[in-house]
Homo-oligomer: A and B are copies of this chain.
Amino acid sequence: MRFKVKVVNIATKGPLIAILNHEDATLLDLQALDRIKIKKGSKEIIAAVDISYSKKDINKSEIGLFLDIIEKLNLKNKEFIDICVEPKPKSLEFIKKKLDNNPLNKEEIDSIIKDLVENKLTEVETTYFISACYINKMSLDESVYLTEAISKNGGKLKFDKKFVVDKHCSGGVPNNRTTPIIVPIIAAAGLTMPKTSTRSITSPAGTADCVEILAPVSHSKEEIMKIVKKTNACMVWGGTLDLASADDKLIKLERILDLDPEGILLASILAKKSAVDSSHILIDIPIGKETKIKDVKQGRKLAKKFIKIGKKLGMKIRVILTDGSHPIGNGIGPALEARDVLLILQNRGPLDLKNKAVCMAGIILDMVGIKNSQKKALEILESGLAYKKMQEIIKAQGGNPNIQPEEIQIGKFKHEVKAKKSGKVNYISNNKISRIAKIAGAPFDKGAGIDLFVKIKSEVNHNSVLYTIHAENKEKLIEAIKEELDKAVIID
């Protein structure tokens, strides 16, 4: 059947959509979300159908096409094209199979992820897959297949090295910015650590947001290969790399109900590691009431699964359960965290963050067989070798290697929160600290956030400053001050 193209000036990067008038759809026996094949010359694409019921938009014999399709087929407005009805993709059968609580094999999971990445599944269909994995759970084998499928159907970086190391943190603890300290230690020790990180999704800063204060983090595959060749490491944003594009599509739908199906979570983390060729991975699971993993039992269970799946994929994984009950470091927010990182590399800065980063770097060195690894990690840091490596990495990524902690711009509007009584700090709320930093503007306002001066068990005097809120504009500072500031740090 022939249709006249009507260009719809919208591109959504998602599943391809074609809009038909409901009369034409009835004639073709098509219903919403059925599929059609659109042909132009030798090119063809498959799109899902949406149906228009308004006479004002898509008339009979017209087909509304979003820019994604217009560009792919190089179409013009009012041009005539042929369409035909296309059967549903085979992967839908496998999604139904999982909904019916039957296990999926390697080929079936690969087929689902391949179609997902190629925009052949609609969001509704993908949601059925997520629901099935969430309610019916995934077996270890299924998680392995999913990891392989996500990694296979995405970009890859390949390093010709015996050891390629990586780290991951399950998150939930403000600051805790160990990565930019660990990476230069490890790289200075001669190991390869091509670190890709995310930007913040719900926190006041992601590692990519923090590193971006010091150097550009958006690089092409080729640039990253050069940076790693030059410095043994990199600290870049994973988003430009399409390392796990299936993962992004799944997360977009999961976050609607704050779902985090464990099988998909495991696969999503390990697929990104596999995509950068990792051989040895250290995973940090902070345990605390206000982190993702609430207790040690849950943490141990998750750790076992990480290790098992890693083994099946040929990756050596070690997991540490750490204290996630309170923030680590002082600054919270991109600029404030970058300042802490530089201070520590210059042998200044918060000790708790330094100690945690050195400890983790030591474990990574131990994993690849380096002896006296803890001592060695500390030496590399304290001798200034790590700082020198950091300067190399910053330079290779296009930043200023000589930037000093004091030069990092912190939001100039500020408010000091003071102790209402003398006593001992009994509780610091991860969630409240994060929330105040976000209201103050983090991570979008780079200089916004919190500078926290106390730790758990710190003795404080009445009216001493507990933390300073920084913002880049007055309105956001005022909004942040409206939060229950004294409940973020509790003194007994």
Contact = CB atoms under 8 A, between A and B. Distances in A.
A11 B57 contact: yes
Contact of A11 (B56, B135, B259): B56
Nearest to A48: B256
A128 B134 CA distance: 10
A256 B124 contact: yes
Interface stretch (A23-31, A283-291, A350-358, A392-400): A23-31
Given A29-B444, A101-B135, A131-B132, A50 B255 contact: no
A132 B257 CA distance: 12
A255 B140 CA distance: 31
Contacts of A382: none
A468 interface: no
A123 B14 CA distance: 15
B33 A256 contact: yes
Interface in A246-292: 252-253, 255-259
A52 B66 CA distance: 11
A298 interface: no
Contacts of A92: 256-257
Interface string A72-105: 0000000000000000000010011001010000
Nearest to A92: B257
Contacts of A136: 135
A136 to B, nearest CB: 6
Contacts of A258: 96
A93 to B, nearest CB: 9
A57 B67 contact: yes
Nearest to A13: B53
Nearest to A68: B54
For A19, A27, A123, A128, the residue with the greatest tally of chain B CB atoms inside 10 Å of its CB is A128
A125 interface: yes
A52 B124 contact: no
A8 interface: yes
Among A32, A127, A256, which residue has the most Cβ atoms of chain B within 10 A? A256
A51 interface: yes
B96 A257 contact: yes
A334 interface: no
A449 interface: no
Contacts of A122: 256
Given A31-B255, A255-B31, A10 B64 contact: yes
Contact of A8 (B8, B53, B95, B125): B8
Contact of A27 (B123, B128, B444): B444
A9 interface: yes
Contacts of A50: 12
Contacts of A26: 444
A109 interface: no
A125 B255 CA distance: 11
A336 interface: no
A108 to B, nearest CB: 15
Contacts of A53: 11-13
Interface in A118-157: 122-125, 127-128, 131-132, 134-136
A128 B131 contact: yes
A132 B11 CA distance: 31
Contacts of A124: 123-124, 127, 253, 256
A469 interface: no
Interface in A433-487: 444
A444 B25 CA distance: 11
Contacts of A19: 10, 12
A449 to B, nearest CB: 15
A8 to B, nearest CB: 6
Nearest to A200: B29
A207 B259 CA distance: 42
A121 to B, nearest CB: 10
A298 to B, nearest CB: 16
A58 interface: yes
A128 B58 contact: no
A257 B128 contact: yes
Q: Which of A51, A57, A58 is packed against the most chain B CB atoms within 10 Å?
A: A57
Lowest 8 A-B CB distances belong to which pairs?
A131-B131, A11-B54, A127-B127, A135-B135, A9-B57, A96-B257, A124-B127, A10-B57
